[in-house]
Structure 1
Amino acid sequence: MQFVLASQSPARLAVLRAAGVEPTVRVSGVDEDAVAAALTDPAPEQLVTALAEAKAQAVLTDVATEFPEALVVACDSMLHIDGEMVGKPQSAEVARQRWRRMAGRTGHLLTGHVVVRTSDGEVVATASGTETTTVHFADPTPAEVDAYVATGEPLHVAGSFTLDGLGGWFVRGIEGDPSSVVGISLPLTRRLLGRVGVSVTDLWQPPPSS
């Protein structure tokens, strides 16, 4: 059974590889803004799940054709703060503005997950869920924010921060699942795999020989 990650995120790929799974990567190319705009006043959990579903659906036809048996896993993360859901800033100025808003405060990182199991080109099972982790941000100086933004890292990640990269210097702590903040919740993904009839231990790859 082929595990397919419908994401271009190197962080999600790294989490899975460190946890014993070697996925095939298929980038969905979904217009996230368009998907979000088509929803009518969604709850935060509904929004991230809908985005994950769109990513899974975008690669599903090709995956079902390419692999006799497959698991498609898609995720989408956003930060909920001040009653607003924010994703990737895409520009340095937006990233700076967000850090001025987040500094010294607390937000909630939500990641929607969708798992689709296919067999002989047909969808045989689907499961979805959301993981929410509370993130306590530090209070970086303006110079530190400028230096961080200049690296380019926060421009392409949900909420303008990472936990596993340079942004980790500016996170005081979290309450919840750290892998979800990185981009894919291992505990939730394990539960969703179970709901489609797959044990995560059957997906583990043997360690490379030395």
Structure 2
Amino acid sequence: MRFVLASQSPARLAVLRAAGVEPVVRVSGVDEDALAASLTDPTPEELVTALATAKAEAIASSLDDDVAADAVVVGCDSMLLTADGEVHGKPGTVEVARERWKKMAGTTGTLLTGHAVLRVRDGEVVDRTAGHEATLVRFGRPADDELEAYLATGEPLHVAGAFTLDGLGGWFVDGIDGDPSSVIGISLPLTRRLLREIGVAVSDMW
């Protein structure tokens, strides 16, 4: 059985490898903005789960025959729900990331991670499940020069909420309440539970 990660995130890959799984990595190419726009007033939890499901479904339908013979496909999506009730994905630009950090410094936010798990046999999806994880993040107050140095690295531009826990952004996170692997991008506890729902033990992946 192959574990297929429907994500190009190096952080998710690193989490899985550290936990004993060497996944097949495939990138879905799902248009996240278009999908989000097609949903009717979703909650933040529904949005991240829908995006994760779309990524997993896209990959499951395009697997090579040798992988599609027996596989689980896992899709993930993460967003930050800030204290003012706004939902944020990847900022994309320095200007957007700077503005977000100015607002969230010294506050708390909730990192939402949606997960979808599909069971594939002989090229067909035979079972599926999905869920989400929420982890409270307490942000520090980086000094202006620290924030500018962080922005200059480019790291916060390409991650949900403009921060990481496992990289340079970890210097500016005072603490979390919940699952650290979920903040990094793939919740090991949630993934284990979802795998069990479709009859797969995570130890089968080791």
Contact 1:75 1:113 in 2 (8 A): yes
SS in 1 for 2:199: coil
CA shift at 1:65, angstroms? 3.5
SS in 1 for 2:62: helix
CA shift at 1:142, angstroms? 1.3
Runs of 4+ in 1 over 3 A off after TM superposition: none
- The answer for the alignment partner of 1:71 in structure 2 is 72
- The answer for the alignment partner of 1:116 in structure 2 is 118
SS in 2 for 1:7: coil
Deviation digits for residues 39-74 of structure 1, max 9, x if unmatched? 111011100001001111111112263420010001
- The answer for the alignment partner of 2:187 in structure 1 is 185
- The answer for the alignment partner of 2:56 in structure 1 is 56
The CA distance in 2 between the partners of 1:197 and 1:101, in whole Å, is: 43
Residue type of the alignment partner of 2:178: G
SS in 2 for 1:62: coil
- The answer for the alignment partner of 1:132 in structure 2 is 134
* Unaligned runs of at least 5 residues, structure 2: none
Q: Does 1:41 align with 2:45?
A: no
The CA distance in 2 between the partners of 1:197 and 1:64, in whole Å, is: 23
- The answer for the alignment partner of 1:80 in structure 2 is 81
Q: Does 1:2 align with 2:2?
A: yes
Structure 2 length normalisation: TM-score?
0.97
Deviates more, 1:130-139 or 1:62-71: 62-71
Same amino acid, percent of matched pairs = 69
Kindly report which structure 2 residues correspond to 1:156-167, keeping only aligned pairs within 5 A, or say none.
Answer: 156-167=158-169
User: How many pairs does the alignment contain?
Assistant: 204
Deviation digits for residues 56-99 of structure 1, max 9, x if unmatched? 11111122634200100010000001111100000000000000
Deviation digits for residues 7-32 of structure 1, max 9, x if unmatched? 00000000000000000000011111
Q: Does 1:147 align with 2:149?
A: yes
The CA distance in 1 between the partners of 2:110 and 2:75, in whole Å, is: 20
SS in 2 for 1:111: strand
Contact 1:64 1:122 in 2 (8 A): no
Counterpart selection for 2:99 from 97, 111, 123: 97
* Unaligned runs of at least 5 residues, structure 1: 205-210
Residue type of the alignment partner of 1:191: R
SS in 2 for 1:63: coil
- The answer for the alignment partner of 2:19 in structure 1 is 19
The CA distance in 1 between the partners of 2:76 and 2:181, in whole Å, is: 12
